[in-house]
Every structure is written in C-alpha cells, then in structure tokens.
A = this chain, B = another copy of it.
Amino acid sequence: MEKVALTEAFATFDEQWSPRVAGELNGQAVKLAKVEGEFVWHQHDDADELFFVHDGALTIELRDEPDVHLDAGEFVVVPRGVEHRPVADEEAQILLFEPSGTKNTGNVESELTQTEEKRLE
C-alpha cells in the first residue's frame, strides 16, 4: 500500500494537460495534472468530474452559469453533460477524480486529446 505525496508526485513530470493516474478505487481514478492556458471546451456525457487545486489557481468556465474560480485547497464537481473549459493564467497543479478511463477532452477530439492513459512513475 503506497502513499502518494502530492508535492513530490507533481515534481516527477513537467508535461501540461497530460493527467497522470496516481491511484484507483471503486472504478474511479485519481489523476494529477499540470495545466496552464486554455483547455478545449468539452463535456463528459457519462462522467461527473471533480477538480481540486493543489497549487495555483484554476477557473472552470461554463456555458450557462457563472465561471467557478478555484484557488489552492478548493474543489468543485462538474456534473456529467455540462460543457466546461478549464483555464489557468499561470501553471496550476490540480487533482482530478473521475471514472477510470475518462478521456481528458471528453466528446471532443483535439491536439490536447490524450490517447494513452499515463501513470505516475
């Protein structure tokens, strides 16, 4: 049973918008990602998605309601089917909690689409 220390884990990779699976439980995955700039608008038709900010700040832009701004130590759940776009003015370190196998760009194909699931090393 291996613990994960977030600060150390984030230091093991540099790639942005490329989540690393850091743990799995009950069919769900805990993923760590470094993000900066604007992601693509997308939605997950069959997956609720939790965003937690470990370091920095992240804005979840939404089509039909006010944006949600998250600072470190804050989280929000984006329900399935809700179109959203994560945006970070400066690099942020975030934790995602979502069903294992959830594609990062949801219903959209983009140059940011991750074709292969990556694991924390």
- Give the B-binding residues of A (Cβ under 8 A): 1-7, 23-28, 30, 47-50, 54, 60, 62, 65, 68-71, 73-79, 82, 97-99
Contacts and interface: CB of A to CB of B under 8 A. Distances in A.
Contact of A3 (B47, B48, B68, B98): B68
A1 B54 contact: no
A98 B27 CA distance: 11
6 residue pairs, one from A and one from B, having the closest CB atoms: A25-B48, A3-B76, A5-B74, A6-B73, A25-B77, A23-B77
Nearest to A50: B25
Given A23-B50, A50-B23, A97-B97, A77 B1 contact: yes
Contacts of A99: 26
